[in-house]
Structure 1
Amino acid sequence: MSSTRAWVRQHRLTTFFLLTYLVSWAPWPLAEAGLVPEAYFFFPGGPLVAAVVVIALADGAAGYRELLARLLRWRVGWQWYVVAIALPALLVLATGWAVSWLGGAAPDLSGVVWADVAIVLAVRLVDPTDGAMGEEPGWRGYALPHLQLGTSPLGAATVLGVLAAGWHLPLVVTGNLSAVGLPTTVLITFLYVWLFNRTGGSLLMPLLFHASQGAFTYGMLGFDDADLRRAALVYLGFVAVAVAATVAFDRATWRTAPPSAVPAVPGPAALARR
């Protein structure tokens, strides 16, 4: 066990990403073999499980306290709550308007039950088997701070975006996610990183963003299949514009992560966390 702990301490990120893929993808071959229900072929809570395991092996109680402190970091300014909750909805509404402008059907919000949207958002904040709580403590709460020890936020966002997109591959192969969802995941990761760093390493803000992103989607705008395919491309375009805006108008945020957005380990010891 001591040799395992030593290896994990020296290869925290490698261990985290391998475990994330393994835990989330493990049900896939079992579902293909008919050993588990097809609905459970992919486990969204892989990043959370991987973070919990790696922290146990490499950091212990201090690591859990740091992760919890990020989750409870709520004093960030009211405007960031607005960004975290409203920006995903604005991207969806802009997508609906653009699809209509390009010749598609007008978005129809009459079927949206806003109370249900609010309930879904709230549940996603606490359900570890869902994409928000199941992913954010791992991707942004653990992996991102460690990535930012050795590279700029821009570089960290690139690495994390590619690995998070690759993690979604089983969903594409099985038809549960369109292929456009992969580049969208890469790009929207930059928004998560920007929000995390601009709020001093608050995990709560990316968690709210992710919950909002899944509670209100362009799939709820009443589009047919053709318009939904068009909406996926348009949504990708709007995400790209939003990312470009943060890079163009907030360059300093992308150069260096604030001290509160990297692991709280001083001096050379911090390098061992990579």
Structure 2
Amino acid sequence: MSSTVAWVRQHRLTCFFALAYLVSWTPWAFDLAGSSLGTPFFPGGPLVAALLVIAVADGRRGFRELGSRLVRWRVGWVWYVVALGLPVLMVLATGVLTWWSGAPAPDLSGVVWTDVVLLLALRTVNPTDSALGEEPGFRGYALPHLQDRLSPLAAAGVLGVLTAGWHVPLVALGNLGWIGLPSTVVITFLYVWLFNRSGGSLLMAVLFHASQGAFTFGMLGFADADVDRAAYVYFGVLVVAVGAVVGLDREIWRRAPESAVDTEPVSVPAGAGV
């Protein structure tokens, strides 16, 4: 075993997050330098990072593990409802609360629902989109390794901060308001809860993310300042939702199920004949 492989095996998560940031942020660096790689930010960085680290540190075992999580569909119908429906419910709650706070009433007349469904389907299978570009890395690879060391509650906090930091260029580019960073931290707890309750199903995380982006509060007919207000209201909705799942489902936050944990195999010392 080479020293490089041994080091990567001992520092899987460090390598993963460093690569995820590097791959996604490199186009931004070129953009700041006055050049262009065709896009100022690459959302598939976490997916690329996970595949690279797995190739070096885990090999076939790692790819089988990640693949099995992605096709883990026998999780019970209720988790499909949660994955697809909870993001929609939170957006609708945001619309109502924003209206109550003084904005015009939400207007769904302009929403083409067939387009929403099509967008959901495309986001689910497109690796250059944020759903499939992020989730195999953040939830499919990093989370099971974090939960091998930390409680689900602590793992969600660590992953939330690191995932929010990964989004910083989007704030600088004007594609995401700054409130999107704490919102990313908070919503990570919902991802962790869904992932663990569905037995470590990466598919549920991908569907949740795809649904989150297919139907947004920007489709509710708000304009200008009301859109910004809705973003703050959405943050509040996320806090309430996380408070509910943490307070009402305490057991799942103490210890992750074995199916949602990736125990790192013991590394074989160099020269041991492997």
User: TM-score range with shorter-chain normalisation?
Assistant: over 0.9
Aligned residue for 1:25? 25
**Residue deviations 1:46-94, cap 9 Å, x none?**
0000000000000001100000000111111000000000000000000
Aligned residue for 2:98? 99
State the distance in 1 between where 2:82 and 2:3 align.
44
Cα separation, partners in 2 of 1:245 and 1:231, compared to 1, 3 Å: same
State the distance in 2 between where 1:246 and 1:94 align.
17
**Residue deviations 1:156-184, cap 9 Å, x none?**
00000000000000011111100000000
Equivalent runs, 1:112-123 vs 2, <5 Å:
112-123=111-122
State the distance in 2 between where 1:187 and 1:141 align.
18
Given residue 21 of structure 1, which amino acid in structure 2 is its aligned partner? Answer: Y
Given residue 23 of structure 1, which amino acid in structure 2 is its aligned partner? Answer: V
Give the gaps of 5 or more residues in structure 1: none
State the distance in 2 between where 1:80 and 1:117 align.
20
Cα shift at 1:33: 2.5
The runs of at least 4 aligned residues of structure 1 exceeding 6 Å deviation read none
Equivalent runs, 1:37-52 vs 2, <5 Å:
40-52=39-51
State the distance in 1 between where 2:115 and 2:263 align.
39
Given residue 63 of structure 1, which amino acid in structure 2 is its aligned partner? Answer: G
Aligned residue for 2:66? 67
Q: Which has the higher helix share?
A: 1
State the distance in 1 between where 2:108 and 2:41 align.
30
Give the gaps of 5 or more residues in structure 2: 268-274
Aligned residue for 2:139? 140
1:220 aligned onto 2:219:
yes
Q: Secondary structure of 1:125's match? A: helix
Given residue 71 of structure 1, which amino acid in structure 2 is its aligned partner? Answer: L
Percent identical pairs in the alignment equals 68
Aligned residue for 2:36? 36
Aligned residue for 2:249? 250
Cα shift at 1:35: 1.9
Given residue 246 of structure 1, which amino acid in structure 2 is its aligned partner? Answer: V
Given residue 26 of structure 2, which amino acid in structure 1 is its aligned partner? Answer: A
Cα shift at 1:221: 0.7
Aligned residue for 2:272? none
Given residue 34 of structure 1, which amino acid in structure 2 is its aligned partner? Answer: G
Q: Secondary structure of 2:148's match? A: helix
Cα shift at 1:103: 1.1
State the distance in 2 between where 1:101 and 1:187 align.
23
Given residue 29 of structure 1, which amino acid in structure 2 is its aligned partner? Answer: A
Equivalent runs, 1:1-274 vs 2, <5 Å:
2-36=2-36, 40-263=39-262, 269=266
State the distance in 2 between where 1:36 and 1:144 align.
33
State the distance in 1 between where 2:229 and 2:121 align.
29
Given residue 161 of structure 1, which amino acid in structure 2 is its aligned partner? Answer: G
Given residue 112 of structure 1, which amino acid in structure 2 is its aligned partner? Answer: V
Contact kept? 2:157, 2:189, Cα under 8 Å: yes
Q: What TM-score, normalized by structure 2, do the two folds share?
A: 0.95
State the distance in 1 between where 2:226 and 2:101 align.
10
